[in-house]
Structure 1
Amino acid sequence: MRRVLLPLSLLVLAGCAAPATEPEVTFYADGRVVNVKPTQYCDVQSENCDVDPAAVGVLRVRPGKPVQISVPGELADSAWSVKFTYRDGRGQPQEPLRSKLFTERDPRYAYTLVLPNPDDQLESVEVQQYGARIETSTTGAFDFVARGTWVLSVDDRV
């Protein structure tokens, strides 16, 4: 009897283990929502990465409208920021901008991206989670290496 119960109990325990999944980020604009998987997700040392270039989300965002971003706890409890590209009202590309850095000291589960001017058009958004690895740039500055990247491509048709 003991031989039957042991394998059965191991099978039950193995079946209860939660599958490892990559976190999703939610983007919301103009009454529409999209959940996005990471285009890149690595271990905490920013190595051993899974890459999925097709994981890009798409939302229609009108000029000057905000995008709300929600992140799960595993991002909120780490270092992350939002990088975005946009064009001004005349259609001229502007330098990419970045939100402040959010950290585990003050967890942030949501961020509202508001463009500098009301007629600016958003082009893309990247949520970047930083890992433990730090690299020195060519200027001598220290840069954290992204562990995970979630990308939103903006459909700007009116």
Structure 2
Amino acid sequence: MVAGCSAPSLPEVTFYSSGKTVNVRPTQYCDLESENCVVDAGAVGVLRVRPGLPVQISVPGEVADSAWSVKFTYRDGDGVGQEPLRSKVFTSAEPRYAYTLELPAADDQLESVEVQQFGKRVQIDETGQIEFVARGTWVLSVDDRG
């Protein structure tokens, strides 16, 4: 008899827009201290998203029951890149399994999306603010061809 001693599978995040879905593995997944990481640079998902359309994001329970947020980049209707934006941070106090990412204006074009799950570790950023360090990151690259 062979004993099954494999590592648990890493959680996947689902992105959906315009009738298409892509399941994405984490590009980085670490322990709660944001150490001992597994890195998979090839885990980036790609999804076609037309200007102004939302992207629906679904996360599994192990992400929903933790602190996580959505960071995204986009450009305006004139094609000018804008400062990255971030959703509020969702926490285990009110688990959230889904989030709909809507851009500020109807002609904005989404470029990339990152779901970031935070661990216990914090650090001080360059402005002196406390920030949580991501333990898991799921990346969506947007295909913006019409």
CA distance in 1, matches of 2:130, 2:58: 28
- RMSD across aligned C-alpha pairs, in angstroms? 1.2
1:151 and 2:118 equivalent? no
TM-score normalized with structure 2 length: 0.96
1:39 and 2:27 equivalent? yes
Report the equivalent of 1:85: 73
Per the TM alignment, residue 150 of structure 1 is displaced from its structure 2 partner at its CA by: 0.1
Report the equivalent of 1:136: 124
The structure with more radius of gyration: 1
Percent pairwise identity: 72
Deviation per residue, 1:20-44 (Å, 9 max, x gap): 1110000000000000000000000
Gaps of 5+ in 1: 1-7
CA distance in 2, matches of 1:152, 1:137: 25
1:69 and 2:69 equivalent? no
1:56 and 2:36 equivalent? no
CA distance in 1, matches of 2:9, 2:91: 22
Please state which structure has a larger fraction of its residues in helix: 1
1:127 and 2:95 equivalent? no
CA distance in 1, matches of 2:120, 2:43: 24
CA distance in 2, matches of 1:55, 1:18: 20
CA distance in 2, matches of 1:143, 1:133: 9
Deviation per residue, 1:34-82 (Å, 9 max, x gap): 0000000000000011111100000000000000000000000000000
Report the equivalent of 1:5: none
CA distance in 2, matches of 1:98, 1:70: 16
TM-score normalized with structure 1 length: 0.89
2:110 counterpart SS class: strand
Deviation per residue, 1:102-143 (Å, 9 max, x gap): 000000000000000000000000000000001112222111
